[in-house]
């Protein structure tokens, strides 16, 4: 049994303007100790997917459907109190902006102790010892002195380390990291990713890494889900997708990877901006931005189907196999070429 199995997850928000289908039929699963990357532009539904699993969407205007089986227990139908038991204990989450994700009026020690005591019947002293241990593990220098400091006294990178410490403090089985490095500078990004990887192996946790950066996924993920406009465009083991991406959107994401030599023309670029989820495009949702779009694309909604020679690799594009092979090869050789030059 996988640690978490998400089946046909749908999350709809009702707004003044109508129903926004923020997640529209997403399925994936993750095993203990594994890392799943969810990739997509902002607004593609990757964060909402995880918030739905955590039960953190506002209840008033949200409709969730499908299943999210955590150790076989459906989180979508679990009671609020049961969810609270799971949150922060079995599943923990790290957020994008460490500057705003910590409560400014409590010391980090207080916030860490709170995290422990919400789930463990321990004394404040024990909880504090645990907090100190975690702070040291995530590499906060002089943790004994700094435990009573307030968030504003830490740098962004340090705050994210505190967030990670807070997430891991109860040995969660699953850690959801929602763009944990986006708000940080490049050097700190690498340190934080390395930290997450190291702690993952130490604690044997599963990790869902939400990112818009395929580079991050390439570095740490075992499996990857590429989301576009609330739907899955392509998903599968990371090495297969990188070896032979099937969806023009994935090509675009790969083409957007940062190049050291900015002079080289991007091989594939994604034009335009993500569609409105209130009125998504007909057929393939990517077609208005797709340079390969043809007559069928606006008419037929492509199903997510396995690649013919690779059943673990799913894709949703109407292009014929030859074109896909050709373009993927061209993209990869181009990337190779630029890297070589």
- Residue 149: closest CA among 185, 111, 181, 117: 111
Contact criterion met (CB below 8 Å) for 6 and 28: yes
Q: Which one of residues 49, 62, 101, 200 is an interface residue with other proteins (CB under 8 A)?
A: 101
Q: Which one of residues 42, 100, 273, 333 is an interface residue with other proteins (CB under 8 A)?
A: 100
The answer to whether residue 107 forms part of the interface with other proteins (CB under 8 A) is: yes
CB closer to other proteins out of 14 and 323: 14
The answer to whether residue 166 forms part of the interface with other proteins (CB under 8 A) is: yes
The answer to whether residue 287 forms part of the interface with other proteins (CB under 8 A) is: no
Contact criterion met (CB below 8 Å) for 9 and 26: yes
The answer to whether residue 85 forms part of the interface with other proteins (CB under 8 A) is: yes
The answer to whether residue 52 forms part of the interface with other proteins (CB under 8 A) is: no
As a whole number of angstroms, the distance between CA 17 and CA 33 comes to: 42
Tokens for 90?
Answer: 């079995």
CB closer to other proteins out of 93 and 319: 93
The b-or-e profile of 178-213 (16+ CB within 10 A means b, else e) is: bbbbebbeeebbeebbebbeebbeebebbbbbbbbb
The answer to whether residue 120 forms part of the interface with other proteins (CB under 8 A) is: no
The answer to whether residue 79 forms part of the interface with other proteins (CB under 8 A) is: no
Contact criterion met (CB below 8 Å) for 229 and 274: yes
CB closer to other proteins out of 51 and 254: 51
How many other C-beta atoms lie within 10 A of the C-beta of residue 16? 5
Q: Name the segment binding other proteins (CB under 8 A); options: 62-70, 87-95, 127-135, 275-283.
A: 87-95
End-to-end CA, the chain: 46
The answer to whether residue 114 forms part of the interface with other proteins (CB under 8 A) is: yes
As a whole number of angstroms, the distance between CA 255 and CA 269 comes to: 6
The answer to whether residue 152 forms part of the interface with other proteins (CB under 8 A) is: yes
Instruction: Report the nearest approach of other proteins to the CB of residue 157 (Å).
Output: 17
The answer to whether residue 15 forms part of the interface with other proteins (CB under 8 A) is: no
CB closer to other proteins out of 38 and 93: 93
Classify residue 81 as exposed, middle or buried by CB count within 10 Å of its CB (0-12, 13-18, 19+): exposed
Task: Name the residues that contact other proteins, by CB under 8 A.
Answer: 54, 56, 59, 84-89, 92-93, 95, 97, 100-107, 114-115, 118-119, 150, 152, 163, 166
């Amino acid at each position: 049994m996988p640690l978490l199995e998400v089946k046909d997850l749908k999350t709809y928000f009702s707004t003044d303007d109508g129903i926004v289908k923020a997640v529209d039929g997403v399925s994936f699963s993750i095993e203990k100790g594994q890392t799943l990357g969810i990739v997509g532009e902002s607004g593609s539904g990757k964060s909402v997917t995880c918030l739905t699993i955590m039960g953190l969407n506002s209840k008033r205007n949200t409709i969730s459907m499908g299943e999210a089986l955590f150790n076989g227990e459906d989180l979508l139908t679990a009671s609020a109190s049961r969810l609270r038991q799971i949150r922060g204990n079995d599943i923990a989450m790290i957020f994008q902006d460490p500057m705003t994700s910590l409560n400014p009026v409590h010391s980090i020690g207080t916030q860490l102790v709170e995290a422990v005591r919400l789930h463990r019947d321990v004394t404040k002293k024990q909880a504090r010892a645990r907090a100190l241990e975690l702070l040291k593990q995530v590499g906060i220098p002089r943790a004994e002195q700094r435990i009573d400091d307030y968030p504003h006294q830490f740098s962004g990178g340090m705050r994210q380390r505190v967030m990670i410490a807070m997430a891991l403090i109860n040995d969660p089985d699953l850690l959801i990291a929602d763009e944990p490095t986006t708000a940080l500078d490049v050097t700190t990004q690498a340190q934080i990713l390395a930290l997450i990887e190291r702690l993952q192996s130490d604690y044997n946790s599963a990790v869902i890494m939400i990112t818009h950066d395929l580079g991050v996924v390439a570095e740490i993920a075992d499996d990857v889900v590429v989301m576009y406009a609330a739907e899955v465009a392509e998903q599968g083991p990371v090495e297969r997708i990188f070896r032979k991406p099937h969806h023009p959107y994935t090509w675009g994401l790969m083409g957007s990877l940062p190049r050291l030599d900015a002079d080289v023309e991007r091989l594939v670029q994604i034009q335009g901006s993500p569609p409105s989820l209130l009125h998504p495009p007909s057929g393939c949702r990517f077609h208005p931005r797709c340079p390969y779009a043809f007559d069928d694309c606006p008419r037929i909604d492509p199903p997510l189907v396995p690649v013919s020679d690779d059943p673990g690799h799913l894709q949703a594009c109407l292009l014929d196999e030859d074109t896909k092979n050709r373009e993927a090869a061209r993209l990869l050789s181009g990337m190779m070429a630029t890297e070589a030059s």
